[in-house]
Structures are given as C-alpha cells and as structure tokens.
Amino acid sequence: MALITALLVVALASVAAVSLTSSHQLDMRRAQTSQNFGQAQLHAASLEALAAEMLLEIGVDEEMALEQLDDDCRTQPLSFEIDGAGVQARLEDLHCRINLNNLLDAEDEETEQAFISLVDALNREYGEVSLDAADLIDALRAWADPEVEEDWYSRQDPPYRPGNRRLASAGELVMVRGMTAEAYQALSRYVTALPAQGTRFNAFLAPERLREAYDLPPPAEMDPDEYGLGDYAQLEVLIEQDDRLYQQCSMIHIPSGDIVMRRLRGCDG
C-alpha cells in the first residue's frame, strides 16, 4: 500500500512539473509575442512620421510627385531590415481612386458617372461581379442618411443597422445593400473612403481603368502641373519578425501630417 501511495505521489509530482514547464513556456512565448508586437508598433509609428514629412515635401512639388509615384499612383516599395525585423513600406495617393463619399452628393455627376462606368466594366470582366451601379449608389446614400431607416438591414442574419454617416472606410461598402464580398474584391483597388466630400480626382496619375471610367484623354495630352498630390495618402507597412507578420494601414492628411485613420491590417487593393 505504501509503495502504491509513493508511486501516486511521484506521478502527481511529475504531472505538476510538466504542467508548470508548459505554462512557463507559454508565458515566455506570450511575452515574446507582446514584445515583438510593441517593437512593430514603434517601427510603424516611426514610418508614419517619416512618411508625413516626406509627403508634405512632395505635396508642394508636382515634379517630385510625378517622379516618386508610379502608374498606379504608388511609390516603389521601400524594403529594409531593422532590429532583426524585415520591413516594407509603400505610399499611395488616394486621390487616384474614386472617393465613395463623393457619391453621397447627388450633384456630383462626374463621380457618379465614373463609378457607373467602372462597375459596368467590372461586370463585363468578372463573372462573380453582377452589380447594378445606380441601385448601389442609391443604397449608399440611404446608408449614410441619418433620416433614412431601411428594414432590410434589420432582416439580415445577424441583423445590423446602417451607418447613418459617411463611410469611415471603403471596406464598409460590403455592408451596404446590393454589395457582395466577391464584388468588393474586384472593386476595392479602385475605391477609397476619404473623410471629406468634394475631394478632387488625380486624373493624370490614376490607373488606366479609372482613366477610362472618367473618359479622360491620354496623359501626354494633359498638363501634369494641374494634377499634383492630393490631400490624403495611404501608408501600408508590413513587418515580419520571428515568422510573424505585422500589418498596418494608415491614412495621412498631407497638409497637417495628421494620421486620420489607422488599421492593424493590410490596405485594401
């Protein structure tokens, strides 16, 4: 009997020791993950400050803007290593996309027609895209209007309420009646949601598909001095450390250098 008791005590002690070791290892991994996340946040914050300073300089120099931005209105990716982490950063002039919040103004016929033309082109190209652009614009305006209540949203599973305000991000469009996740994937590269209405479109540097949607002449027939950098730019940061990927997407107001939006994920498109 004494031998059985002794064996049970040893077994229980062994289980406890293994449990304590596993718990300690888990705590160490959690601490390392938290430390890496904190370092990534610091790196991203430093890149935001550097980008804001760079954008302010580019914003007053149209020639420099043309040199820095490629055909997609983006800078070339900047890649480097710091403190053992691989870092990649890229800037984009968001005025080369259609501002969805401009569609809330029924008098902005130029943006409305360009959006309809863009959706029609995507409908033809992608089998999974079948959108009625005019109906979607109406639904978007109703979504943002605080005086309009649609019961369609309350009948979804799960139910939710419309925003009753301007879009805070382009991805919010997926929640608007008439939009699907598959259609948004095709659309996301060409749209944004700036925190203002009536923003201008960078016609000179915009992607070819949007130039077609706006029915614009070739860049060679346009005056680049009329299409400098807009007021809002996007900074995408990717940081890889210890096989973990940290992503951050920030929107920068160029004239003030303020960060007006920050998301801990990759940028749309």
Residue 62 sits in the same domain as residue 104: no
Sign of CA dihedral 59, 61, 66, 68: negative
Strand partners, 241: 244
pLDDT by residue (tens digit) across 31-85? 555 655 677 777 778 778 777 877 777 665 556 666 677 767 888 888 888 778 8
Write the CA distances from 105 to 42, 72, 138, 144, 202, integer angstroms: 39, 26, 11, 11, 19
Q: Which residue carries 């992608």 as its tokens?
A: 126
Determine, yes or no, domain membership for 269: no
Domain that holds residue 259: 1-95+229-263
Higher-pLDDT residue of 65 and 136 is 136
Sign of CA dihedral 117, 118, 120, 121: positive
Closest CA to 133 of 165, 171, 169, 98: 98
Question: Residue 98: pLDDT band by 50, 70, 90 thresholds?
Answer: very high
Residue 246 sits in the same domain as residue 128: no
Residue 254 sits in the same domain as residue 236: yes
- CATH of residue 4's domain is 3.30.1300
Determine, yes or no, domain membership for 41: yes
Residue 113 sits in the same domain as residue 190: yes
Strand partners, 85: 82
Residue 190 sits in the same domain as residue 204: yes
Q: Are 131 and 185 in contact (CB under 8 A)?
A: no
pLDDT at 96: 92
Residue 116 sits in the same domain as residue 90: no
70 by DSSP, 3-state: which? coil
- CATH of residue 200's domain is 1.10.40.60
Sign of CA dihedral 231, 207, 116, 156: negative
Residue 102 sits in the same domain as residue 213: yes
Domain count, the chain: 2
pLDDT by residue (tens digit) across 193-231? 999 999 999 888 888 999 999 998 887 777 766 666 789
Residue 102 sits in the same domain as residue 153: yes
